[in-house]
Structure 1
Amino acid sequence: MDSDFMIARLLLLFSVLVSLYYYHQKHPVNFALLGLFTVSLSLTIGVSCAFTRGELVLEALILTATVTLGLTAYTYWASRKGYDFNFLGLVLFVVVITLIMWSLIQAFFPASKLSLSIYGGIATVIFSAYIVYDTNNLIKRFSYDEYIWASVSLYLDILNLFLSILNILRAQC
């Protein structure tokens, strides 16, 4: 029953994400799909947080908010000074593919707490860099009509950063 519910949530999440990509510039539909995407993703994140001590979730939330605000302010300042972070795109893509492969290996061969801490630390650095990259894209590359897809990119970066920090904190306990 639980695995059926999890599979249904993931199918809903991916189908809404694909629909959102297709309709991201169609005005009333994109807002509805963004809301549905947010709700379906919150179910997944909520289940993850439900099995974690509240203090750890609060600490991860505070750390995520601090890092996100700091990196956003830095990226805004750096873009005003003429810095460009588009070079991070290919590097981050390759590193995320490696991170996904590592997580698949951990699914079949469970890892120790030290390995989970290392995984969480590397993922934290990667998704922090993704916040810088996507904020830079939001400032310089995305047009006014692409704000929905830009917000989805940043939303996923922040949620993945939160989950990475939560993994580190879980492995410490």
Structure 2
Amino acid sequence: MAGDPQGFTEFAASSSGRLFRTAWLMTGDWHLAEDLVQETLGKVYGAWTKRARPDDPAAYARTTLMRTFFTHRRRRGSAERPSDSLPERPAGETDVALRVTLIDALGRLDAKDRAVLVLRYWEDRSVEQTAADLGLSAGAVRSRCFRALDRLRDVLGTDDPTMSGVAR
């Protein structure tokens, strides 16, 4: 129902964690991920109150997050520079070295390749769902996944001991 702030509040509370995780994986920057989620939820709220609630609010929010991220990448000021190092991670995670290595390698890919890999493999989305979220055809998602995985393997290299189990 249009103008249902309680419904939006419930939606935002239930989906903000997943949106944040996706944004953080896309950016590798905790604060930027928070900003992207906040901007995304603001845009979703605007659509929520102006017309009927989207059929699939989670998909609408993911698509909005991806578009917001791509817009941010295009507009990034010349004073901003990506970091070569990642912040420290909390202890207790399984395969911490592998996660850090993968996140660092994802950060070296271009934005669209990173988006396809994060949605397809980290978010466990189908080819069709990923295509819908990114506004691509299913074939384009498949080919971009293939090329992006190849680039990811090149970035990781074969001499990395944490990647010994990853097949080429």
Quick check: TM above 0.5? no
Say which structure, 1 or 2, has more relative contact order (CA 8 Å, 6+ apart). 1
Instruction: Please give the range of the TM-score, normalised by the shorter of the 2 chains.
Output: under 0.3
Structure in which a larger fraction of residues adopt helix: 1
What's the TM-score once normalised by structure 2's chain length? 0.26
What's the TM-score once normalised by structure 1's chain length? 0.25
